Chains A and B, each alone.
Chain A
Amino acid sequence: MDAFRIFIVEDDVFYGEMLRHHLTLNPDNEVHLFKTGEECLKNLYRSPAMISLDYSLPDMSGLDVMRQIKKEHPEIPVIIVSGQEDISTAVTLLREGAYDYFVKDDDVKDRLWNVLKKIRENIQLRSEISYLKEEIGRKYEFRNVIKGNSPSIKQIFGLIEKSIKTNISVSITGETGTGKELVAKAIHYNSKRAKKPFVAINVSAIPRDLIESEMFGHEKGAFTGAITRKIGKFEQASGGTIFLDEIAEMDLNMQAKLLRVIQERELTRVGGNELIKIDVRLIVATNRNLADEVQKGNFREDLYYRLLGLPIELPPLRYRGNDIILLAKYFVDEFCKENKMKKLSITESAQQKLMGYHFPGNVRELRAIIELAAVLTDHDQIDESHISFNSADAAGNLLMEESSLAEYTRKIIRYYLQKYNNNVLLVAKKLEIGKSTIYRMIKEKQI
């Protein structure tokens, strides 16, 4: 850890020296003693972690010195150490931003150590938060988030780059599992708002009665159960980005309220009167076609145009060609790394099997398939036997496997026989084919 730099501003030579001796008992502390406010202000460029400031200085008052410090470096904690035992002075200084106020008495030593401990902890926390923010930034560097070389995904990269440069609203559409939230995060963490919060709301996951309070907050007593004031997601996202997922699920009443907030750039908490200015960037996502929803009267047209901004339509994985293999390899590497397993390869036949599948659950499904395959294999490679598709969309799967018509026929009959406990007559009736056809296929071991 770097030295913890402390400034002591004290015109009483003896007391200042004594504090310096005291604080240097901890070798991590680097203590500088100044006799005047001006000396302290001249040395602020050295970025002290804390300033202990005497209230009565020969050249200017402690209050004036503190105001100047706060103006230039509001982050530096200033502790007033004074012989003044006047409460009103202490209150004034605390109101003006002093971190703490000590009277030069017997307790000053212990109080100083306690406050130093707190400040050190705060600095540590700030540094951890800053590190984590940088990590998130790196994690969401958009080429790390969205993998792929296909033309359709390269087009998405271009749109993301455009969206990063401005504050324009972004509407992301795409099937489930295509990575809408990841794209939203990539836009936020690569934009000028990256250091401010990214707040996501899944509109469909919040009960209708609660969504207004969730989004805009509420005042204490606004409704039964509102026992404290609650800050809504829009306020939480102040200066940052708010991501409204599944926006098409929002009811018309709430749509009207959202439209007002977007237009006015201010909101009122539920049960409150105060108008609160907001500064948030909006990114919305849906797996429905919003224009269709407008046509059907389920979505307000005015809100639709407000939200549309820059539309980004994420392609389904099945249209991304070799990205499937690229992503599969990436997921298997990630999985092995996370689980401290040796590296696995994907055989050619497994790759072909993946390429023949239509992935109704898109990238999310691919990841699950690959992780399961990595668990199932006993060797250093994933082959086709480890790849299993469990999609709810069985018909879609069947069609995407690109078989011959004869093979499709066999699969369909096999499926129906399983379903109806090998009742050939019933299956023949259901499929409107002759029972002899089924018997023949059984006899020829085709099914």
Chain B
Amino acid sequence: MPESNKNHYCLDKLIEFVGNDPEAIKSMVNLFLNTTPDLLQTINTSFHDGIAENLAKAAHTLKPTLDVFGVENTYDLIRIIEQKAKRSELDLALGKHINQLNTTMELVFKELKLAYPIV
């Protein structure tokens, strides 16, 4: 199991939820790696297409997942993105926030794929 403090994520909350069962954790990580990129994609596309409602919905869905995976520096970030989208403020600042989210998530995906390679 990876050491949480060297990565951009922390699985403590996930372990609390599913128990300290390596198989269950692996299965949840795989699910995260399969579903989260699509949500991130929706956030990006919706921003580019100016569809605030879809953006807000995707951010809303992603919010608890990021919390459970303890993704570094995203607790406030995803909430700001959701709120701005809800207010239809699809501005430059929101673009920067989304970029920041993309960068962090790419790191997290890489780290998780390394720690939990799909056999």
A interface residues with partner B (beta carbon < 8 Å): 11-15, 17-19, 21-22, 25, 56, 83, 104-106, 109
Contacts and interface: CB of A to CB of B under 8 A. Distances in A.
Given A17-B31, A21-B28, A106-B13, A11 B68 contact: no
B16 interface: yes
Contacts of B42: none
B61 A83 contact: yes
B61 A12 contact: yes
A21 B13 CA distance: 13
Contacts, number: 54
Interface stretch (B17-25, B91-99, B104-112): B17-25
B4 interface: no
B61 A18 contact: no
Given A12-B61, A14-B32, A14-B35, A104 B17 contact: no
Contacts of B8: none
Contacts of B13: 106
Interface residues of B, number: 21
A13 B38 CA distance: 12
28 contacts: A11-B61, A12-B65, A14-B32, A14-B35, A14-B68, A15-B61, A15-B65, A15-B68, A17-B27, A18-B14, A18-B18, A18-B68, A19-B17, A21-B18, A21-B19, A21-B24, A21-B28, A25-B18, A25-B19, A56-B60, A83-B60, A83-B63, A83-B64, A104-B63, A105-B64, A105-B67, A109-B16, A109-B17
A179 B20 CA distance: 64
Given A17-B27, A109-B17, 18 more contacts: A11-B61, A13-B31, A13-B35, A14-B65, A15-B61, A15-B65, A17-B28, A17-B31, A18-B17, A21-B19, A21-B24, A56-B57, A83-B60, A83-B63, A83-B64, A104-B64, A105-B64, A105-B67
A104 B17 CA distance: 12
A24 to B, nearest CB: 9
A14 B36 CA distance: 8
Given A17-B31, A21-B24, A21-B28, A12 B64 contact: yes
A25 B36 CA distance: 25
Contacts of B57: 56
B31 A14 contact: yes
Nearest to B57: A56
Contacts of A22: 17-19
Nearest to A81: B64
Contacts of B24: 21
Interface string B29-54: 00110011000000000000000000
Nearest to A17: B31
Contacts of A21: 17-19, 24, 27-28
In this complex, the member of B17, B28, B31, B36 whose beta carbon has the largest number of chain A beta carbons within 10 angstroms is: B17
A83 B35 CA distance: 18
Interface in B40-87: 57, 60-61, 63-65, 67-68
B64 A15 contact: yes
A408 B80 CA distance: 105
